[in-house]
Amino acid sequence: HTLKSLWPFHAFLHSVLQQLIVKDTGQIFIEPVDQNEVPDYGDIVKHPMDLLTMELKIKNSEYNSLEEFENDFNLMVSNCLAYNSKETIFYKAGIKMRDQGGTVLRTAKRDLKILD
């Protein structure tokens, strides 16, 4: 069996997402940035992304590969590093999520290969 046939692919992505949510200890990635609270956010970030939106995309079967899921993860991180200046807590949380989330995704990619 491969993972895809044995266990729905979206269940695999959901488990990867849960691991990313655990890494978001400051809970700054868990939901979309509220653009009413942050009126200039849309001037800098053209394609917002967050972990809740990624969960909804999993549920809507909008990811056909781990790479597409990873693209949204990278978009979420790069938005954070683009909007927040380097000395902020948010920027530092973005660096931490890039590093720790990157490890989660590297392991998930390896697991997907082993199961094929």
Ligand X SMILES: CC(=O)c1c[nH]c2ccccc12
Q: Which residues bind ligand X (CB under 6 A)?
A: 28-29, 33, 38, 80, 83-84, 90
Asked if 82 and 1 touch (Cβ cutoff 8 Å), the reply is no
**In the complex with ligand X, which residue's Cβ is closer, 39 or 113?**
39
Task: Name every residue whose Cβ is closer than 8 Å to that of residue 114 and which is 6 or more positions away in sequence.
Answer: none
**In the complex with ligand X, which residue's Cβ is closer, 11 or 38?**
38
Q: How far is the CB of 55 from ligand X (least distance, A)?
A: 16
Q: How far is the CB of 33 from ligand X (least distance, A)?
A: 5
Q: How far is the CB of 34 from ligand X (least distance, A)?
A: 7
- Cα–Cα dist 51/20, whole Å: 8
**In the complex with ligand X, which residue's Cβ is closer, 19 or 90?**
90
Q: How far is the CB of 38 from ligand X (least distance, A)?
A: 4
Instruction: Give the CB-nearest residue to ligand X.
Output: 28
DSSP codes joined into one string, 5-56 = HHS-HHHHHHHHHHHHHHH-TT-SSSS---TTT-TTHHHH-SS---HHHHHH
**In the complex with ligand X, which residue's Cβ is closer, 41 or 111?**
41
